[in-house]
A and B are shown apart, each in its own frame.
Chain A
Amino acid sequence: MNAATAPEWRDQIFEVLQAHDIKQVYHVPDAGHGRLIEHCQRSNSVRTVPLTTEEEGIALAAGAWLGGQRSVLLMQSSGVGNTVNLLGLTKTLRFPFLTLITMRGEWGEFNSWQYPMGQGTPKVLEAMGVLVYSVDSADEVRATVDAAARAAFNGGQSVAVLLRQKLIGIKDFGKKTAK
């Protein structure tokens, strides 16, 4: 990945979400999703809801679906662990659920605290019956998010797209890094 391609795939995700008529977007602050979140916040066609913890997003998604609206939960891999019990709600209610997850704790991660949940993320999602799609190159983002949205909203599935750290880039605190 290089700096020139970085904005493009985030813009593409926004376009795909628009194309699938997603009306509610839930998120916690996240550098990886940052540009997409700002897109959503500026848009008049989606309601953007900041969460205190990722598990709230599952509850909101269930409520939105009860009310006839589609939603997406944007989170980081570290947040997946916060959602586990409520991920079960997507199975018991059998409602379509789409989440886009920026990965940490994998490709060249500098922060050891990110590894346990990052490495556990696909397994945890699979254990809860969530379909896991994965993207590690910018040219696959649009098609993958589109396919995931179709699986969720047409196929009635619970689907996660992992935006791999190879795609997002290695987080680097530069000179602040402790010696």
Chain B
Amino acid sequence: MSKPTLQRRPLVKKLLEGANDDLLVIAGLGSSNWDITEAGDRPLNMPLWGAMGAPIGMGLGLALAQPAKRVLVITGDADTMMNLGSLATVATQQPENLAIVVLDNEKYGETGNQASHTSPRNNGPTESGAGADLATIARGCGLADSATVREASEVAQLVKDARTKKGPVFRLVKVMVEKLEFVMPPQDGAHLKDRFRQALLGHP
């Protein structure tokens, strides 16, 4: 398989372009958090600074509570790998308003870009993973609409699927390993939660 060429920041910017009050976004800790923040911090973004393994479950709870809104979870491969069961739990509920986009750089970005389980096998002593394919895993967990995105030419369709297609939608996006600037949202979790609820519900 050729090396990924997609860059996560411009891709996430396109995913969130024109976001209005009907789009609720949860981002996993680390790079995904900085990605959505670079695209434009907004009250209906819930960027996580911890709680690894939680974004997909959070997205499900939110999607069930707000069936008229679109819920978009953006997170990384290792975060997803930490709680694979949540993919099957999403499948038990089949939320039509939930899309999950996993940005897979095959690395643990926050700890120094060590190989994650989605890295290829037999890739040298320090860079080998399991070659785990999260799109196949998602399908196997019962998320029938699961696909992989590798090419720039597929991004427009990805954005459309993530924003509007009947869910649950799962997209694995193979992205480059890049050294990017940290673009940080507020860190106070209670503040992030309160501003989200204020914007969504009219009260904290």
Q: Which A residues lie at the B interface, using CB under 8 A? A: 23-24, 47, 49-53, 55-69, 71, 85-86, 88-89, 92-95
The answer to whether B196 and A94 have CB atoms under 8 Å apart is: no
In the bound complex, residues from chain B placing their C-beta under 8 Å from that of A93 are 189-190, 192-193
| CA distance in complex: A62, B54 (Å) | 9
Tell me which of B54, B62, B201 contacts A89 (CB under 8 A): B54
Tell me which of A50, A62, A85 contacts B58 (CB under 8 A): A62
B33-45: CB near A (< 8 Å → 1, else 0) gives 0000000000000
Whether a CB of chain A sits under 8 angstroms from the CB of B93 is: yes
B87-110: CB near A (< 8 Å → 1, else 0) gives 011001100000000000000000
Identify the interface centre among B26, B50, B65, B93: most chain A CB within 10 Å of its CB: B65
| CA distance in complex: A101, B170 (Å) | 33
| CA distance in complex: A25, B56 (Å) | 17
The answer to whether B93 and A59 have CB atoms under 8 Å apart is: no
The answer to whether B193 and A55 have CB atoms under 8 Å apart is: no
In the bound complex, residues from chain B placing their C-beta under 8 Å from that of A47 are 64, 93
Whether a CB of chain A sits under 8 angstroms from the CB of B83 is: yes
Chain B binding surface, main DSSP class: helix
The answer to whether A56 and B86 have CB atoms under 8 Å apart is: yes
Q: A61-B61, A66-B197, A92-B51 are in contact. List 9 more A-B contacts (CB 8 A).
A: A59-B55, A59-B61, A63-B58, A66-B24, A66-B61, A66-B62, A67-B63, A92-B189, A95-B193
The answer to whether B89 and A66 have CB atoms under 8 Å apart is: no
The answer to whether A64 and B88 have CB atoms under 8 Å apart is: no
In the bound complex, residues from chain A placing their C-beta under 8 Å from that of B66 are 67-68
Identify the interface centre among B64, B88, B200: most chain A CB within 10 Å of its CB: B64
Taking CB as reference atom, which chain A residue is nearest B26? A63
Taking CB as reference atom, which chain A residue is nearest B193? A93
The answer to whether A58 and B85 have CB atoms under 8 Å apart is: no
If A49-B92, A93-B189 touch, whether A64 touches B61 (CB-CB below 8 Å) is yes
8 interchain pairs, CB-CB under 8 A: A50-B92, A56-B57, A56-B86, A59-B57, A63-B57, A69-B61, A69-B64, A93-B193
Tell me which of A60, A85, A86 contacts B61 (CB under 8 A): A60
Q: Which B residues lie at the A interface, using CB under 8 A? A: 24, 26, 46, 49-66, 69, 83, 85-86, 88-89, 92-93, 189-190, 192-193, 196-197, 200-201
| CA distance in complex: A94, B86 (Å) | 23
The answer to whether A55 and B62 have CB atoms under 8 Å apart is: no
In the bound complex, residues from chain B placing their C-beta under 8 Å from that of A52 are 85-86, 88-89
The answer to whether A24 and B190 have CB atoms under 8 Å apart is: no
In the bound complex, residues from chain B placing their C-beta under 8 Å from that of A63 are 26, 57-65
The smallest beta-carbon distance between B71 and chain A, in angstroms, is 8
The answer to whether B189 and A60 have CB atoms under 8 Å apart is: no
If A52-B86, A66-B196 touch, whether A60 touches B190 (CB-CB below 8 Å) is no
In the bound complex, residues from chain A placing their C-beta under 8 Å from that of B197 are 65-66, 68
If A24-B65, A93-B190 touch, whether A68 touches B54 (CB-CB below 8 Å) is no
In the bound complex, residues from chain B placing their C-beta under 8 Å from that of A49 are 60, 64, 89, 92-93
| CA distance in complex: A64, B201 (Å) | 12
